[in-house]
Amino acid sequence: MRVGVLTGGGDCPGLNAVIRGVVRKGIQEYAYEFVGYRDGWRGPLEGDTIPLDIAAVRGILPRGGTILGSSRTNPLKAEDGVRRIKENLAKHEVDALIAIGGEDTLGVATALSGEYGIPCVGVPKTIDNDLSATDYTFGFDTAVGIATEAIDRLHTTAESHMRVLVVEVMGRHAGWIALHSGLAGGANVILIPEQRFEVDQVCKWVTSRFRATYAPIVVVAEGAMPKDGDAVLKDGTLDSFGHVRLSGVGEWLAKEIEARTGKEARTTVLGHVQRGGTPSAFDRWLATRFGLHAIEAVRDGDFGKMVALQGTNIVRVPISDATSKLKTVDPKLYEEAGVFFG
């Protein structure tokens, strides 16, 4: 049995831990061989491989990034993409594929596995934690930890100065990182993409916080939008840097708060810092177990499935379950956090 492995989409702490889990168990317990495909779906599409054995996965557990490289190549949009993949898999004598990735990568795996009969097992990956069918994805806990530590540090300054501190964290379509880090960091306002915010309400919270104690900390997901967001976009303020990559809401909000409350505001934009570095212990545990269970699914011939976390158990679900619907923040959870606003 020869198994191909690839990682697609944005990088995420834990990818290497998955690869290591797959390879260690596959070789030691099942005597499988492995083929590493480079840069996501570009690897099988172009036949670009690297050796993947015990030596290749040594020492990679604590390392962020992915030794296989990544890309956003979509073979379904490439000419003759499926045929070329089939040919390459045949050439490399690969019997099954493990695809580690998010919505796009897994979407391809669903199609290949279903319509085209290529045996695929999926491993869900998204730092934003917005994939359905799994309680958590690896990388998310690491990102929340980094954002929380940043908020912790800001409290010090908040205590000594009369400034509003705005922290922009990741989350284009779902506010999980903002919600968890904001709650864990004791933020005074948390703004998520799922609910458009009113700047005036933010200013009220900010002002009431100043009265009660000291300077407020506002956590805002990069994808959060003001209620009057369209107007904002029209006059170009957000558009200039915000439209394409949805970043910049932090800086924009800080200026609005300054203008409306007369208080100085400062912005921290964590950016890619959140998706880098060594995975947290939780993410290593989750990613390692995902790897062990993915190769078990291969052994069982259980294709078209994805490993997922439910409670403390790793289960298998159809890959399509994960990608059919974005897992956004439950309004009740956001409301629950609201007791700490202001």
Q: Which is nearer to its own copies, 11 or 130 (CB)?
A: 11
List the one residue from 5, 8, 25, 202 that touches its own copies (CB under 8 A): 25
Asked if 311 interacts with its own copies (CB under 8 A), we say yes
Binding positions for its own copies, 156-195, rule CB under 8 A? 156-157, 159-161, 163, 165, 180-181, 183-186
Asked if 46 interacts with its own copies (CB under 8 A), we say no
93 carries a ligand binding annotation: no
Find all residues with CB under 8 Å of 167, minimum gap 6, and list them: 147, 150, 151, 154, 187, 217, 218, 219, 220, 250, 267, 268, 270
118 carries a ligand binding annotation: no
Find all residues with CB under 8 Å of 317, minimum gap 6, and list them: 133, 134, 305, 306, 308
Minimum CB separation of residue 327 from its own copies in Å reads 10
> What whole-number distance in Å separates Cα of residue 107 and Cα of residue 275?
22
Q: Which is nearer to its own copies, 95 or 264 (CB)?
A: 264
Task: Determine the distance from the C-alpha atom of residue 111 to the mean position of all C-alpha atoms in its chain, rounded to a whole number.
Answer: 22
Please name the amino acid found at residue 26: G
Q: β-strands 305-310, 120-124: how paired?
A: parallel
Asked if 299 interacts with its own copies (CB under 8 A), we say no
List the one residue from 8, 36, 44, 69 that touches its own copies (CB under 8 A): 69
Q: Which two tokens stand for residue 216?
A: 């407020």
Stretch that binds its own copies, among 8-16, 79-87, 219-227, 297-305 (CB under 8 A): 8-16
Asked if 96 interacts with its own copies (CB under 8 A), we say no
**Number of residues lying near its own copies (CB under 8 A):** 75
Minimum CB separation of residue 143 from its own copies in Å reads 9
> What whole-number distance in Å separates Cα of residue 197 and Cα of residue 178?
14
273 carries a ligand binding annotation: yes
Stretch that binds its own copies, among 79-87, 106-114, 223-231, 334-342 (CB under 8 A): 334-342
To the query of whether residue 128 is one of the catalytic residues in this protein, the response is: yes
Minimum CB separation of residue 63 from its own copies in Å reads 7
Report helix, strand or coil for 287. Answer: helix
Asked if 153 interacts with its own copies (CB under 8 A), we say yes
Q: Cβ atoms within 10 A of the Cβ of 145, count? A: 21
Burial class, 117, CB count within 10 angstroms (exposed 0-12 / middle 13-18 / buried 19+)? exposed
Asked if 207 interacts with its own copies (CB under 8 A), we say no
What are the backbone dihedrals phi and psi of residue 264, each rounded to the nearest 5 degrees, phi first? Answer: -65, 145
CB 165 within 8 A of CB 154: yes
Q: β-strands 33-37, 313-318: how paired?
A: unpaired
Stretch that binds its own copies, among 56-64, 99-107, 188-196, 297-305 (CB under 8 A): 56-64
| Active-site option among 39, 80, 95, 128 | 128
311 carries a ligand binding annotation: no
CB 216 within 8 A of CB 162: no
Q: Which is nearer to its own copies, 113 or 267 (CB)?
A: 267
Report helix, strand or coil for 103. Answer: helix
126 carries a ligand binding annotation: yes
Minimum CB separation of residue 13 from its own copies in Å reads 7
Binding positions for its own copies, 263-282, rule CB under 8 A? 266-278, 280-282
Q: Which is nearer to its own copies, 255 or 263 (CB)?
A: 255
CB 268 within 8 A of CB 55: no
Q: Which residues are annotated as a binding site for diphosphate?
A: 10
Query: Catalytic positions, please?
Result: 128
